[in-house]
Amino acid sequence: MTASFFPIDTPIPFEGPDSTNPLAFRHYDPDQIVMGKPMAEHLRFAVAYWHSFVWDGSDPFGGQTFQRDWFPGDTMDKAKRRADVAFEMFRLLRVPFFCFHDHDVRPEGASLQESHARLNEIADYLERKMDATGVKLLWGTANLFSHARWMAGAATNPDPDVFAYAASTVRACMDVTHRLGGENYVLWGGREGYETLLNTDLARELDQMGRFLSMVVEYKHKIGFPGQILIEPKPQEPTKHQYDYDVATVYGFLRRYGLEGEVRVNIEQGHAILAGHSFEHEIALAQALDIFGSVDMNRNDYQSGWDTDQFPNNVPEVALAYYHILKGGGFTRGGTNFDAKLRRQSIDPQDLLIAHIGGMDTCARGLKAAAAMIEDGALQGPLDARYAGWDSDAARAMLRPGAALDDIANRAEAQGLSPAPRSGQQELLENIVNRYI
Amino acid sequence: MTASFFPIDTPIPFEGPDSTNPLAFRHYDPDQIVMGKPMAEHLRFAVAYWHSFVWDGSDPFGGQTFQRDWFPGDTMDKAKRRADVAFEMFRLLRVPFFCFHDHDVRPEGASLQESHARLNEIADYLERKMDATGVKLLWGTANLFSHARWMAGAATNPDPDVFAYAASTVRACMDVTHRLGGENYVLWGGREGYETLLNTDLARELDQMGRFLSMVVEYKHKIGFPGQILIEPKPQEPTKHQYDYDVATVYGFLRRYGLEGEVRVNIEQGHAILAGHSFEHEIALAQALDIFGSVDMNRNDYQSGWDTDQFPNNVPEVALAYYHILKGGGFTRGGTNFDAKLRRQSIDPQDLLIAHIGGMDTCARGLKAAAAMIEDGALQGPLDARYAGWDSDAARAMLRPGAALDDIANRAEAQGLSPAPRSGQQELLENIVNRYI
Amino acid sequence: MTASFFPIDTPIPFEGPDSTNPLAFRHYDPDQIVMGKPMAEHLRFAVAYWHSFVWDGSDPFGGQTFQRDWFPGDTMDKAKRRADVAFEMFRLLRVPFFCFHDHDVRPEGASLQESHARLNEIADYLERKMDATGVKLLWGTANLFSHARWMAGAATNPDPDVFAYAASTVRACMDVTHRLGGENYVLWGGREGYETLLNTDLARELDQMGRFLSMVVEYKHKIGFPGQILIEPKPQEPTKHQYDYDVATVYGFLRRYGLEGEVRVNIEQGHAILAGHSFEHEIALAQALDIFGSVDMNRNDYQSGWDTDQFPNNVPEVALAYYHILKGGGFTRGGTNFDAKLRRQSIDPQDLLIAHIGGMDTCARGLKAAAAMIEDGALQGPLDARYAGWDSDAARAMLRPGAALDDIANRAEAQGLSPAPRSGQQELLENIVNRYI
Amino acid sequence: MTASFFPIDTPIPFEGPDSTNPLAFRHYDPDQIVMGKPMAEHLRFAVAYWHSFVWDGSDPFGGQTFQRDWFPGDTMDKAKRRADVAFEMFRLLRVPFFCFHDHDVRPEGASLQESHARLNEIADYLERKMDATGVKLLWGTANLFSHARWMAGAATNPDPDVFAYAASTVRACMDVTHRLGGENYVLWGGREGYETLLNTDLARELDQMGRFLSMVVEYKHKIGFPGQILIEPKPQEPTKHQYDYDVATVYGFLRRYGLEGEVRVNIEQGHAILAGHSFEHEIALAQALDIFGSVDMNRNDYQSGWDTDQFPNNVPEVALAYYHILKGGGFTRGGTNFDAKLRRQSIDPQDLLIAHIGGMDTCARGLKAAAAMIEDGALQGPLDARYAGWDSDAARAMLRPGAALDDIANRAEAQGLSPAPRSGQQELLENIVNRYI
């Protein structure tokens, strides 16, 4: 790196809760032991390349606000400068992982082959930087939505040539992800969805998407990629209806195409909110269905109907997310990715650091609160008590195959059942959570 | 019936589009042939007992506004008076079907047995009226949500006795539905959902619900009930999260418990809107997944975040719904149920007639428009053209099991594919639809 | 009081943050000095009579879940028993205030006069209890929405007799509020709004509402009531459109009818959320417009499109609300009313105590955080710096009457202005807030 | 114009409802007399320059999809080519008006002066084309949101230099609008709002905005511009909270700064929907408050939480909008602007024509239906009957200044009023509307 971008050179220190230094952690102490292992290993933080190093601050109503010396990123030199700054930030923040799309790290070539050649060249560059810094790849992915060729979808495109083009692109990205030791490979639906049913054959497009995903899984096994394949649900935007609407929808899709043992979900808080769910709902549901994989820890503004991708800052919400993550055993290959962008008015280099610091501290507080609730059994105890009636043999028998409506109904009538309601104690449980935050 | 409730005695006539008679049909002509069969057989209208004859006009901010001589319905005499008026309305409207919950037709007894006995007694009464009028039962269902015992769910209750009580109740309702020749049996989720994850074991409750539904299906086969078992999706209300969120969620649930060949969906427009979908989306998706069953044709106000259950009045929206219904082959055992209620200020007896007349006319117009679009191939032609690239052998081969990402990627690169975007023509297609409405 | 309702008899103690006693305060210590005065005087907590003592747990999909020995409240004896329990709860919780509608405290009579007589009788009873306990009335109000006569509005009703009936009812409630030393008199819009524009004359109804409010203000002065007249904004529910939509709408209404110096707003968090605003937005806006009066401190579930009236439990949100309240000088005659209801599954008497304890503790934490931010100037400093450019005479001159577009434009062009953007520092400020919570 | 862009050269003909020609009007017959004047004079259609000729199809997730030979528009030659094509489209569509921002018609210069010089040069060019074609300017406006300098607002910017820069820009745009005979001058809020209250002084920013608007009005009078000054409400996007939230908010703002006699509103359907209102609500409210000015006739997708700016296609909705417009006397200087953009997949030149044709036909049908309802008194009759009770002297007296709560209450009690509810007839009225569509 020839010139420094950030105003500091020393990694962000942990200074404890009383610090007022905006460039210090107050809660994230990577080596602090929580439930038996270092906080860093629980959280597995990752920075998203695109928002922090590719996006220029534009929105539908205005153009670039960020001045970065690697904009526009249309040459390989600019791409390398961008990588230099990115790895400098990873070092300063002490994050162990990053994530990228092909489109983030190299300028698109004039042909598929040239694009792939550039991707491989920049992968060499990234590989050296990863080796030098120890920063690892949480996941790689392909951008199948920005170029005009994807405007009607990638795998679900009405044009089979686009499907084939997507196959080539995804292969290249999987190859690079595998080479760089990626922990996961992610497919976010991009433009797999529709703008109007009037020009859409839903059944056909779902089958195209199912077949494409099957081939991705087969290719993973062929090349021996040990990572997880992850789908990232989102209900809408850019399309009016995204096929990977939410966790429940993705689960049904995986079952339909026999992929439920092969593919897991990467859940984003912002997308959960847009789908009308809480973040913890999506996490808990994915765990109940055994498809939980990883998270994108970025919030949506509750008042905004579009994807705002903001850094998390509400500790109680984040605590409930980690509560369910820890309860399900924590991350294996997944992690906490900040798919978050600065507000477009936050134009200073240090805003990038400050935003990540705030997000990491929020997560660290949430994790500690969640761990304490688990260690105390603060919520599990009342939960077990609530369902204790189901512990009896007679009760459990009703749920076993072979139990018949007739028999149960006969018994209910013979016994003259008249069950008495019991308090759900919601307010008590909410107060208990607040003891930990 | 000893006293007349409605101000007219003659069934509503069809008078054609120019009529200004509020008590005449302007579009619904039951015998008019549309796509080869009478309009009545396409539409299969049903009146919902509860909204029109049980609800008293109360809402969370106020009490009864409707004065009906069968309120409160706490005696068998009142229940019979209510049935008299209901069948009088079916006759006046010339609707071929109705739907009911146990709770709508009989006062609850002091015990399970007494409740069942009353249900059977009123079923005798309904049976005689059905025989006399030719009105049939589109579906029966059990109310598992109004009484306090259901406050934490029925099949998903933390108390196994409530599960057993639900089994007895559903058996009784299935028996009556079978006896009355019901075309379907419906399960709407009621309070199967949660208010807070803090007191909820999601995995356990889903398993309870899956097992319950399996027993319902087994019981259906045991008694030889020939009707469809239908689940009615809804995203929330009364609970914060209803397990049967939307069509995609229900599909995943059915797959999880191996019930996708046994259970179909009853889709309500209002619930689709609350879930962030269009009505036609839910219908088209159910057809793509082969679980379409029936519809509740009542809209939600787009501005209101709760279930408003209004009679349909927007012809373009209804036309798109019937377009997808007809495209999928139309109803078999399903139908068009008005799960719609009067506005609570519409307190006159004739408002009940007028509301149904308006809804039926709106559906008739929608059906005719949809049928014309299908007969003309107005939308199917452009749709086929859009996907025509997939008709080639080479394209289709990419979707077959055995096709490999590697091979497709190699070909794409060898051929130097660079697919050119083609117009999606959304505005043209929207204009075409408007030609038919 | 002849029989005890609650399981404890000793007022809820303050035990500090480490207490795990569900019936203790962990943060609310009424006498703790915050910014120079006791916490209790800042917060001015009030309990809402209706949710805690009148509502029976019913919702649109089900009936009563709470068993209370004063249900149904249709006799004066029951009304007195209800008051006994209410004041017992005020004592246990150590809340200094309560709020009520006429409808909450007395059964409606067969005539206006009988209703008023009953109201006066029960007011005597309340007065004695207030004297005995020192509990005061934060505000009184009239229920102009539950009875069928109000179904089309009160002041905005198409029937002038309903307008007159409302005048009589409000006079009676104002008289009682005055007699009981109420700090405020509140008008919540109830059914002042519409279900459909098709039957509504908007201009006429707004004028009716404006005239009615003017008479209320005139009557206040006539009887010498020293309290504030407050309007409580809400965007919808029960009606499709409530005329008092939000703070901005109420402000315009007050200006239109010349009442902006006479009437203030009572802002509810849940209503703010339903209107698409944050709670702090509504508070800050009311202060900017100089119409801030009081708050209802109850949240809405972000996923639910209807009014959920939940006890507050998110400290960061509550802290921002108190930040703006304190910044504007705090409450004068207003206070913190819990217009919150138990979840309908929270059926035990102690749930009532626990819910209020949690809400009060949440507010206490929020208040302390807000006070610390103000004392440190943590947010005010950066804010002043951001607008510092406007401190110059030249800048201020542009905002004075007499400044002309022409002159400013000429200067801008002559100086060749090309303003450079400066960071908005949103993430930094969010991190600063998190230091205090 | 040197090269043709559109595939046709002859203006779009009116061919009547049975035409299947996608490049013909089926309902819009400009000369057809409706309620005494030609349809064209009622509707006063305008095309928005920006969406059709400036936007390149990009969205937050992808780049350019439209190939236009005037992209990128960074030279004056390109700007003229763009104008050529625009006027060619106006001619083909036979629209009488257009609208533009400065930013749409000229490339921004290196300085304020250069930008203005370019604006004046292109205005000369436009003026010649207007003279040649007879197309007129419905409104001009300034783009105060796209460039980075506006990122924190224009009039509400924390930097007074931006305020001054905005003054210069608006003066230039008002001058050009005046010179071109514009019927109105519009201010859409752009970035006048906030992203976070943490860095925002609400009171100060509102005062800045109020003062700015006052200067605009004063400048209008100074130069003798006869047009209307219009504010266009929008609730959010691009900012989290736009100060011109909705009609009610704008009204309060105008009253606060004494501008209610000088400024009116330009109401957009899409913005109404985003604000939680119906389009007809915003129109009816603006008329009740006497600030109605003009409309942007473009819809939002009800499922999408961002501004989708789609061409109108739902006739019933559009009919209700024109019903209220006509009821209020129709447009004076306002008109029907299509602030609508193609879907980004609609990449063919003829899609531009087809989209406008569909929108114009939808409006024509809506207008005809609205006119017929008015001529028949179909809705007005029942409305008058509903409020007839207020026609009596006694009733009207209650609304006059001087009427006192006391007197009315005394009378109500003396007469023992007990008003009986009357049906609101909503379903009947909805059915009546459907007779006209």
Q: Å from A388 to nearest chain C CA?
A: 18
- B424 and chain A: CB distance < 8 Å anywhere? yes
Residues of chain A with C-beta less than 8 angstroms from the C-beta of C379: none
Q: How many CB pairs under 8 A join A and C?
A: 117
The tokens 């007065």 sit on which residue? C127
Q: Is the dihedral of CA B325, B330, B334, B337 positive or negative?
A: positive
The response to whether B406 counts as a known ligand-binding position is no
Contact A60/D152, CB-based, under 8 Å? no
- Distance (Å, rounded) from C-alpha D392 to C-alpha A380? 68
Confidence of residue C90 (pLDDT cuts 50, 70, 90): very high
Whole-Å CA distances, A46 to A187, A213, A326, A336: 17, 25, 18, 6
The closest alpha carbon to A437, from A311, A322, A290, A280, belongs to A322
- Distance (Å, rounded) from C-alpha A355 to C-alpha A342? 7
* Paired tokens of B48: 């919902």
pLDDT in single tens digits along all 437 residues of chain B: 457 899 999 999 999 999 999 999 999 999 999 999 999 999 999 999 999 999 999 999 999 999 999 999 899 999 999 999 999 999 999 999 999 999 999 999 999 999 999 999 999 999 999 999 999 999 999 999 999 999 999 999 999 999 999 999 999 999 999 999 999 999 999 999 999 999 999 999 999 999 999 999 999 999 999 999 999 999 999 999 999 999 999 999 999 999 999 999 999 999 999 999 999 999 999 999 999 999 999 999 999 999 999 999 999 999 999 999 999 999 999 999 999 999 999 999 999 999 999 999 999 999 999 999 999 999 999 999 999 999 999 999 999 999 999 999 999 999 999 999 999 999 999 999 999 99
Q: Which residues lie closer than 8 Å to B108 by C-beta, 6 or more apart? A: B115, B118, B147
Q: Å from D222 to nearest chain A CA?
A: 32
Mean pLDDT for chain D overall: 97
* Paired tokens of C160: 């002038």
Contact A354/C433, CB-based, under 8 Å? no
| pLDDT number for residue A73 | 85
| pLDDT number for residue C2 | 53
Q: Which residues lie closer than 8 Å to D226 by C-beta, 6 or more apart? A: none
Whole-Å CA distances, C344 to A420, A426, B172: 14, 10, 28
ipTM: 0.97
- Helix (H/G/I), strand (E/B), else coil: A388: helix
Contact D358/B427, CB-based, under 8 Å? yes
- Distance (Å, rounded) from C-alpha D267 to C-alpha D199? 30
* Closest alpha carbon within chain C to B194: C345
- Distance (Å, rounded) from C-alpha A383 to C-alpha A376? 13
Least CB–CB distance from B145: residue in C62, C147, C345? C62
Contact C416/D202, CB-based, under 8 Å? no
- A146 and chain B: CB distance < 8 Å anywhere? no
| pLDDT number for residue A124 | 98
- B430 and chain D: CB distance < 8 Å anywhere? yes
Contact B304/C305, CB-based, under 8 Å? yes
> Chain D interface, mutation test: which of A147, A195, A307, most D Cβ atoms within 10 Å?
A195
| pLDDT number for residue C250 | 98
The response to whether C296 counts as a known ligand-binding position is yes
> Which residues of A are the active-site residues?
101, 104
CB C335 within 8 A of CB C45: yes
The residue count of chain B comes to: 437
Which residue positions in chain A have pLDDT lower than 50? 1
The residue count of chain C comes to: 437
What does the buried/exposed string (b/e) look like for B167-188 if buried means 16 or more CB atoms within 10 Å of the residue's CB? Answer: bbbbbbbbbbbbbbebbbbbbb
The response to whether A15 counts as a known ligand-binding position is no
User: Where does A236-340 show beta strands of DSSP type E?
Assistant: 241-242, 263-268, 292-296, 336-338
| pLDDT number for residue B378 | 96
The closest alpha carbon to B247, from B209, B288, B216, belongs to B288
Question: ω into residue B158 within 30 of 0, thus cis?
Answer: no
- C389 and chain D: CB distance < 8 Å anywhere? yes
Residues of chain B with C-beta less than 8 angstroms from the C-beta of C307: 60
- C416 and chain D: CB distance < 8 Å anywhere? yes
> Which residues of D are the active-site residues?
101, 104
Chains that touch A (3 or more CB pairs under 8 A): B, C, D
CB D421 within 8 A of CB B347: yes
| pLDDT number for residue A2 | 53
Q: What is the 3-state secondary structure (H, E, C) of C380-425?
A: HHHHHHHCHHHHCHHHHHCCCCCCCHHHHHHHHHHCCCCCCCCCCC
CB C173 within 8 A of CB C145: no
* Paired tokens of C235: 């965007």
Q: What is the 3-state secondary structure (H, E, C) of B76-94?
A: HHHHHHHHHHHHHHHHHHC
Least CB–CB distance from B281: residue in A197, A406, A429? A197
Q: Å from B358 to nearest chain D CA?
A: 5
- Helix (H/G/I), strand (E/B), else coil: C294: strand
- Distance (Å, rounded) from C-alpha C249 to C-alpha C253? 6
Contact A345/C427, CB-based, under 8 Å? no
- Distance (Å, rounded) from C-alpha D387 to C-alpha A105? 68
The residue count of chain D comes to: 437
Contact B62/C145, CB-based, under 8 Å? yes
In degrees and rounded to multiples of 5, residue D292 shows phi and psi of -70, 135
Say which DSSP state A6 is in. S
Contact C199/D425, CB-based, under 8 Å? yes
- Distance (Å, rounded) from C-alpha C20 to C-alpha C404? 64
- Distance (Å, rounded) from C-alpha A405 to C-alpha B163? 10
- B207 and chain A: CB distance < 8 Å anywhere? yes
Whole-Å CA distances, C134 to A415, B384, C90, C95: 52, 78, 10, 10
- B201 and chain C: CB distance < 8 Å anywhere? no
Percent of chain D surpassing pLDDT 90: 99
- Give the model confidence (pLDDT) of D161-219 as tens digits: 999 999 999 999 999 999 999 999 999 999 999 999 999 999 999 999 999 999 999 99
Confidence of residue C3 (pLDDT cuts 50, 70, 90): confident
- Helix (H/G/I), strand (E/B), else coil: A30: coil
Contact C343/A427, CB-based, under 8 Å? yes
| pLDDT number for residue B73 | 85
* Paired tokens of D259: 């501008």
- Distance (Å, rounded) from C-alpha D269 to C-alpha D254? 21
- D426 and chain B: CB distance < 8 Å anywhere? yes
**Mean per-residue pLDDT, C318-342:** 98
CB D150 within 8 A of CB D144: yes
Q: Å from C192 to nearest chain D CA?
A: 14
**Mean per-residue pLDDT, D383-410:** 97
Confidence of residue C135 (pLDDT cuts 50, 70, 90): very high
Residues of chain A with C-beta less than 8 angstroms from the C-beta of D152: 345
- Distance (Å, rounded) from C-alpha D350 to C-alpha D66? 12
Residues of chain A with C-beta less than 8 angstroms from the C-beta of D343: 195-196
What does the buried/exposed string (b/e) look like for D332-350 if buried means 16 or more CB atoms within 10 Å of the residue's CB? Answer: ebbbbbbbbbbbbbbbbbb
Confidence of residue D2 (pLDDT cuts 50, 70, 90): low
The closest alpha carbon to B365, from B314, B299, B324, B325, belongs to B314
Q: Å from A112 to nearest chain B CA?
A: 6
- Helix (H/G/I), strand (E/B), else coil: C166: helix
